[in-house]
Amino acid sequence: MEKIFPESFLWGAAASAPQTEGAALIDGKSPSTWDKWYELEPQQFFNQIGPKDTSNTYYLYKEDVRLMKEMGLNSYRTSIAWTRLLPDGQTLNTKAVSFYRNYFTEMLQAGIKPIINLFHFDMPWWLMEKGGWEMREAVDAFAFYAQTAFEQFGDLVKDWTTFNEPMVHIECGYLGEAHYPKVIDFKRAIQVGYHTLMAHVKAVQAFRQVGISKGKIGIILNLSPIYAKSQNPEDQQAQFYADLFYTRSFLDPVVKGEIPLELKNVLQEHGLTPKTNAGDKELIRQYKIDFLGVNYYQPLRVQAPKNQVFPAKSPGYFARGYNWPEKRINPHRGWEIYPAGMYDLAKRIQQEYDNIPWYVSENGMGVEGEEKFTKNQVIQDQYRIAFVKEHLEYLHQAIAEGSHCFGYHVWTFIDCWSWLNGYKNRYGFYQVDLDNQFIRKPKLSSFWFKKISSQNGF
């Protein structure tokens, strides 16, 4: 049975500036937390590959856009590096303006719609030294950066997002050690989350004030459907709180214009209420998004917590993970594969969030050691094709039932550098040769995706 997607559906891929551009400390760019962390502790990074060793898009953007067009992409999401555009937070870097204008123009001339994100975990070091997202100052600094980007590129870029996966820099940097500053402090994490939300809101405000013709602004959230181990009240309560912290904490304010009352209450009960400014509540209410980006990789399965000690020192006080015995696993990465979760997310957005326009901003399959699947000099990544096809089938079903989804982006176009993991897990349609990062080789999935996009379905 044919599965044809809506007219003008976006078929594309997603990436970010810090993971693809390279040229990490040249042409005026200042260091991000990743540049500085690598300088301080290179041993923390897989095979000691740091952020300067990414996929060289800064030099190869014309070649990359040619390959995007060749494989049938009609859209592409990447980000601007705050540290490149405003190296000290105030001074406009004209070399950065030239690079991004040339890059976005190249996309447009190839018939590829750019969707441009402002923050993809790459906190400027000058701001991190002051406390990063823990400081209210960061909110206004981000708003100024956002306004600058809108003013410099708003004639070329009409579709913008503020943050990619804000939950990740909170969870990995302030409830874990996978991102800098690698501290574990629930109260500080909540403050970081609140300032991130307000930075988003102030960026939306700046967007409305700049007034980009036909422009739209959104945010990209990593959403997982959250399933309880059982119908027992304790497991159901764990599901409720996990959803409150991991989903509704950002989704409710950006779409509905208000922080959930249940979240405010539980934070107050545990002494975790963040510092706020007068007028914040009204700003959240007023500056809502036009569309939503959803990154979906795997579901979250939870059960009742054990050994709770009041007050909460982490989200683990409210719920803990559950290892579902029937789950299907990506053996190369260790993540659960659950395509039906795509349908569940789509229906929830449709039913509980005003059926807001949304798109799949990331979905994909990471594999370590992909080279072993090479035949006739092409990586035979049928596993990636199967993964994408299954998710698209569930997405198509949700769209047929009225979900307002307008696109699907795979992570990622070319194998990219991935934080502490370097190039350990590969996600790309194109292979990057680590011995010569100026060489890109198509994988089998790139040819398959071209067929899908040209047919607008399968």
The catalytic residue positions are 165, 362
CA distance 277 to 290: 25
CA distance 155 to 240: 43
- Chain position carrying tokens 């040619």: 66
CA distance 171 to 224: 15
Q: Cα 147 from chain centroid?
A: 21
* 8 Å CB contact between 189 and 167: no
CA distance 24 to 81: 10
* 8 Å CB contact between 163 and 196: yes
Amino acid at 445: S
The full DSSP string for 141-178 is HHHHHHHHHHHHHTTT--EEEEEE-HHHHHHHHHBSSS
> Contacts by 207-211 with C-beta closer than 8 Å and gap 24+?
207/146, 207/150, 207/160, 208/287, 209/147, 210/147, 210/150, 210/151, 210/154
Q: How many C-alpha atoms does 440 have within 13 Å on its Cβ side?
A: 23
b/e string for 115-153 if b means 16 or more Cβ within 10 A?
bbbbbbbbbbbbbbeebbbbbbebbebbbbbbbbbbebb
Q: Which of 13, 76, 114 is nearest to 362 (CA)?
A: 13
CA distance 349 to 355: 6
The full DSSP string for 307-375 is S--SSPSSGGGT-EE---TT--B-TTT--B--THHHHHHHHHHHHHSTT--EEEEE----EETGGGGEE
List beta partners, residue 410: 13
- H or E element in which residue 236 lies: helix 233-243
Q: Which of 75, 74, 91 is nearest to 83 (CA)?
A: 91
Q: Classify strands 367-368 and 320-321 as parallel, antiparallel or unpaired.
A: unpaired
